[in-house]
Structure 1
């Protein structure tokens, strides 16, 4: 009886609050920002609930400010500049309580025995927190980008590293990666870390566009700028006579024609998860490198993203 009573108390004091917390987080991920956690408990869970609700208030405030901002219909450049300041401030406000929640859950998780069934629950909470933290970092990266540190780099080497990180997820989704990487290509001036982020964004998007499996083909080629097949817009942007071209081709769901013109816009997304910043950040990084990125897509057949860079003259 004593043992049963102890388990009942544990269930009331720990298991029940944790389950309610998970339910709340799931509703938030589904887009319900009106829900709040119970702050009435006078323990660690009550403090965590207070921090979490504070974060939600910041999210609601951000949503309202963004909606109000779009109503003004200002010029795109000035709109994005102001939006960046809003995002940066709010993202910092979210980051602090999120860090506190993460620390509290990690402490609780570490104190549980390895065979305790509650470890699975706390591990799931930590996973959700990591996802929220990733969204905040994406917002900060968009609002306050770091200046690129340019180095002469092999595009093939940078791509190899990016493919290594994407491969496990691609295998899980039954996506076969066909990489035709010619490492004898002329080098390109780039920030390897930022460009790896671009390649990761494009590959992750491609994998997510193939939920039933498919093929992601990646190629690197070089060409003379004045040859046929290079658009006049690319010729005007890139001054080098020789171009290095990276192509990401998938057999995914494709993008509707009416959405292609907005695909690089900040916060534009048709996915249930994500911020809609990945392609916008990727385009900005590529353009800061003096290059350009384009997309072609057909619903039901897939998409092709192409990046153009100026090659370094090694002669």
Structure 2
């Protein structure tokens, strides 16, 4: 929290506490005053009732002749006079009405039997014992306030005056005035509520004024804070001139911040330029680079490193070396050994497991970089490169060269074969017409015709392969094309007891491609996968984004490709199937090359094969919106 905010909160809090304390004190004094006033009124009423009862008893007792001779006779006389006086209850009620807190006034005998009361229904009943009001008044004020204002149940207290003669210790009559906390609450609640509202309004007004006053006092700090924030965000515009009313200390600080911002701007521009040059240079390298700080936390991972190692910079940035490359892995063991021995590593060969992407053989280099601010605590630079890259380039060039040579050779041969085939087919039709109805040679003629037709199709395939292909490129949603291919082969897959699964996390992956040629290339790979699973299984067609590339993978559960023939799999006429032509994968390889794309595969004997076709994305930074059902993983169903 900023100093400005702390000061503002401190000022508002202090004023709030002072106003709350003052308001509570005022409420306490007001409540105490109202309770005292109510008690004084009740005491006055009790004195009036005492005087009234004494006067009534004395007047009526003097009229009795002869006067009572004993104390017991006098007691009975007084009891009789009080109980039989018809005007006494009304006089008691009139006197009690002067105090709003009095709930009942009564006269009882020495046995607490009520003789006269403001409540006639209670006469001749025994008066229950009640706490004395004087004891309640001795309790702390806060206890009395809680009892009166908060507790819902009613509490009654009594003011008692005993009447008797001086020669007798026991009273003849007891005058009691009953006070109720409910009536005390009704008497003071209005005033207390009024004071509470006044206190609340005062508190709110004080908070607002304190906030405004703190803003007025701290407006210079606001300007300095805004200036510092603008420098931190790279906004280096000159600040406005200081106001004449502003303190000199703040004006001096503002001036020094302007000088500092100019220096910071120059340093930031130099740093950004240097960083940009370094990043461009790193990204241009084919090698993957990873930089760890002196605490062995990952600072930077190039895109090449992400692709080679199957990691994401956003997911591993800030993690330690052991978290990114656990020591239990071959690469982690090499890096840990280099750190412990403080020795560099040069072209160490290691195989990295990359999950679904499959294993990859890499060459690893490790070296220490001196940390200038903290000598002795070196950073760590790790570079990796694909050990198979040169071999793959050489292999693909060899395949392309052989395909070109075979194309030139077969082009001429196919033309020479097609002409005799056409003549043979023509004369066979003439022969069939002459032998029409002769069942002895009909079947043999049909066999000859079928074989000529098959040979003609082979020749046409040769010619199609050698003929220059016109590629009609356009923007193509690779997800939709792959989905169409999966649906197209579904009937054949069902007959072979093969389930087709389609997976496309992104609903739209756009590449520049010829739809017909690309569909043919993908069909060749998918059909090969189905044919490889002679006992049935599962074939997965997936479309994914990997950085700036679209990747189509076709994974089967067949027997795999033997190690001895893997270098020949894309050769023209090479096939491991009894009835295969050896043209399908060669044609696929040619089509992929025409799209400036690549195709490779990974296979394990007995576990199946995965073909990967990589295409440049039209726009790797955006993904056009499409209906939600277009993407995701699903099983391919019958198109019917």
- Is the CA contact 1:185–1:221 (under 8 Å) kept in the aligned structure 2? no
Answer yes or no: is the 8 Å Cα contact 1:246–1:308 preserved in 2. Answer: yes
Task: Report what 1:235 is aligned to.
Answer: none
Q: Is the 8 A contact 1:215 1:251 kept in 2?
A: yes
Taking structure 1 as reference, are residues 80 and 250 closer, same or farther at Cα in structure 2, changes over 3 Å only? closer
1:263 lines up with 2:569 in the alignment? yes
Change over 3 Å in CA distance of 1:260–1:103 after alignment to 2: same
SS of residue paired to 1:261 = helix
Answer whether contact 2:486 2:541 (CA < 8 A) is retained: no
| Residue 200 of structure 1: how far off its partner (Å) | 1.1
- 1:110-135: CA deviations, max 9, x gaps? x989xx99998877666555543332
Selected match of 2:546 from 223, 227, 230: 223
Aligned partner (choices 293, 305, 308) of residue 611 of structure 2:
305
> Hey, what does 1:275 align to over in structure 2?
581
DSSP-derived class of the 1:297 partner: strand
SS at match of 2:489: helix
Q: Secondary structure at the match of 2:596?
A: coil
Aligned equivalent of 2:508: 185
Aligned equivalents of 2:607, 2:422: Cα separation in 1: 42
Q: CA separation of 1:184/1:118 partners in 2, compared to 1, >3 Å: closer, same or farther?
A: farther
Task: Give 2:468's aligned residue.
Answer: 145
Q: Is the 8 A contact 2:555 2:610 kept in 1?
A: yes
CA distance in 2, matches of 1:163, 1:104: 43
- Is this contact kept in 1: 2:482–2:541, CA < 8 A? no
Structure 1, 303-312 or 282-291: larger mean CA deviation: 282-291
Query: In 1, Cα distance between the equivalents of 2:494 and 2:441?
Result: 30
Change (3 A) 1:221 1:141: same
Query: Against the structure 1 CA distance between its residues 79 and 157, is the aligned structure 2 distance closer, same or farther, given a 3 Å change threshold?
Result: closer
Name the structure 2 match of 1:133.
456
For the Cα contact (< 8 Å) 1:177–1:217, is it kept in 2?
yes
| TM-score normalised to structure 1 length | 0.60
The separation in 2 between residues aligned to 1:87 and 1:199, in whole angstroms, is 24
SS in 2 for 1:253: coil
Unmatched segments (≥5 aa) in structure 2: 1-397, 623-640
User: Residues 212 and 76 from structure 1, CA distance in 2 versus in 1: closer, same or farther, beyond 3 angstroms?
Assistant: closer
Measured in 2, the distance between the counterparts of 1:143 and 1:175 equals 34
Matched, 1:92 2:415: yes
Uncovered stretches (5+) of structure 1, i.e. residues with no partner: 1-74, 225-241
Q: What secondary structure sits across from 1:248 in the alignment? A: strand
Q: TM-score, normalised by structure 2?
A: 0.31
- The correspondence for 2:534, drawn from 207, 211, 219, is 211
- Specify the alignment match of 2:555 in structure 1: 249
Cα deviation for residue 158 of structure 1 reads 2.1
Stretch moving more, 303-312 or 91-100: 91-100
Q: Deviations over 1:174-218 (max 9, x none)?
A: 222112245722311001111011011101111111122121110
Report the structure number with the largest CA radius of gyration: 2
**Alignment check: 8 A CA contact 1:154 1:183 kept:** no
Q: Structure 1's 130 and 154: CA in aligned 2 closer, same or farther, altered over 3 A?
A: farther
Q: Which moved more, 1:178-187 or 1:259-268?
A: 178-187
Q: Partners in 2 of 1:249 and 1:160 — Cα distance?
A: 15
Q: CA 1:293/1:93 → structure 2, altered by over 3 Å: closer, same or farther?
A: same
Deviation at 1:284, TM superposition (A): 1.9
Aligned pair count reads 221
* Contact preservation (8 Å) 1:269, 1:276: yes
1:283 and 1:133 map into 2 onto residues whose CA distance is 24
- After superposition, the C-alpha distances for 1:70-98 in whole angstroms (9 at most, x for unaligned) are xxxxx876654443222011112333343
Please list every run of at least 4 consecutive aligned residues from structure 1 whose deviation after the TM superposition is greater than 4 angstroms.
Answer: 75-80, 99-109, 116-130
CA distance in 1, matches of 2:426, 2:481: 34
Flag the 1:204–1:77 CA change in 2: closer, same or farther, 3 A. closer
Whole-angstrom distance in 2 between the partners of 1:185 and 1:252 = 30
Using the TM superposition, give the Cα deviation of residue 141 of structure 1 relative to its aligned residue in structure 2, in angstroms: 2.7
**Partner-residue secondary structure (3-state), 1:255:** coil
**CA deviation string 1:36-61 (max 9, x = no partner):** xxxxxxxxxxxxxxxxxxxxxxxxxx
